[in-house]
Amino acid sequence: MNTPAIEISDLWFSYGGAPVLEQVNLTLPAGDFLAVLGPNGGGKSTLLKLLLGLAQPGGGSVRVLGQPAGQAGGRIGYLPQFTQVSASFPITVLGAVQLGLVRPGFDWFKGRAERARERQAAQEALARVGLAEHARRRLSDLSGGQRQRVFIARAIVSGPELLLLDEPTASVDGKSRQELMALLAELNRDMTIVMVSHDMSTVDGCVKSIACVNRTLHLHADSRLTPQIFAEAMGIDLVAGCPVELLAHGPVPHRVVLAHDSPECCGGRHARKNDGGQPK
């Protein structure tokens, strides 16, 4: 039980001679919820591929759940970044989740009892993500947030110990994003989670630690967006000041936001008061 979920030592990796990751070291304890942040091209998705054994390091070592990467089998659940579904693809929600049980050497001619066990496992996974009543609907008929929940159900149907997520909130609206993060926090009670994200709003108290990846990796055993973490995640030089100022006015793509003390911000709750106790 003391075996780390992930152990990476002196890892480096390159594409065609161009370095992508250099001298990466990480020991992630079981039960953690790690957000992996960083700029585009910094190596975040490549790191997931290395953990899955889909790519081989040029140097160093990667161990997952106590085994070399790629050998943990059904103990790992994975949600890829791109999960678009054609409207003409006639798969049901239940059928999509059952695909998470397909493995190399899968027996397509299994007996009735085995098929029933798989359907039951898929139903339980759907219930866990709050979609049990949608089992027989076409997957393409669901909303974006609902489809993402189905894909999470597919990733957890085998009962994994480690869940790897690549941009799970990228294609959903704000409300669905909050609901997905609440779901992941609940799943974290039973499994270790590693989530790659560009979205700073996902670091909202659900995650337990942050890794900033930009060719190398800096681990922060904290989920608060300090100026240092924010700068590392955006791939910019450290700028003094609070993350709100960095977000609104720092050297990152400008966000059009209200001033924090504007009467129109959050119903005027933050507006400065005059002597009569009313917002100025």
What average pLDDT does range 248-257 have in this prediction? 46
Q: Which of residues 237 and 61 earns the better pLDDT score? A: 61
Helix or strand run (H / E) with residue 34: strand 33-37
What average pLDDT does range 45-68 have in this prediction? 95
CA–CA dist 88, 79 (Å, integer): 22
pLDDT digits (tens, 9 = 90+) for 173-182: 778 888 889 9
CA–CA dist 180, 200 (Å, integer): 14
Task: Kindly list the domain boundaries of the chain, sorted by start residue.
Answer: 6-249
For 38-43, which contacts have Cβ atoms below 8 Å and span 24 or more sequence positions? 38/212, 38/213, 38/214, 38/232, 38/233, 38/235, 39/214, 39/233, 39/234, 39/235, 40/198, 42/213, 42/214, 42/215, 42/235, 43/13, 43/213, 43/214, 43/215
> For residue 279, what pLDDT is reported?
47
Name the pTM for this structure.
0.80
Cβ neighbours, 10 Å, residue 251:
11
- In the chain, where does DSSP find H-type helix? 44-52, 93-98, 112-128, 144-156, 174-187, 227-234, 243-249
Least reliable range by pLDDT among 116-125, 202-211, 222-231, 243-252: 243-252
> For residue 26, what pLDDT is reported?
97
Q: Which of residues 164 and 250 earns the better pLDDT score? A: 164
Is the CB of residue 174 less than 8 Å from the CB of residue 14? no
The domain defined by 6-249 carries CATH number 3.40.1360.10: no
> For residue 270, what pLDDT is reported?
57
pLDDT at 42 over 80: yes
> For residue 13, what pLDDT is reported?
96
> For residue 247, what pLDDT is reported?
54
pLDDT at 11 over 70: yes
DSSP β-bridge partners for residue 7: 27, 63
* Nearest residue to 31 (alpha-carbon basis) of 192, 271, 238, 246: 192
pLDDT category, 108, cuts 50, 70, 90?
low
The DSSP line for 126-187 is HHHTT-GGGTTSBGGGS-HHHHHHHHHHHHHTT--SEEEEESTTTTS-HHHHHHHHHHHHHH
* Nearest residue to 97 (alpha-carbon basis) of 120, 73, 122, 124: 122
> For residue 31, what pLDDT is reported?
95
Q: 3-class DSSP state for residue 268? A: helix
pLDDT digits (tens, 9 = 90+) for 203-221: 766 899 999 999 999 998 8
CA distance from start to end of the chain? 57
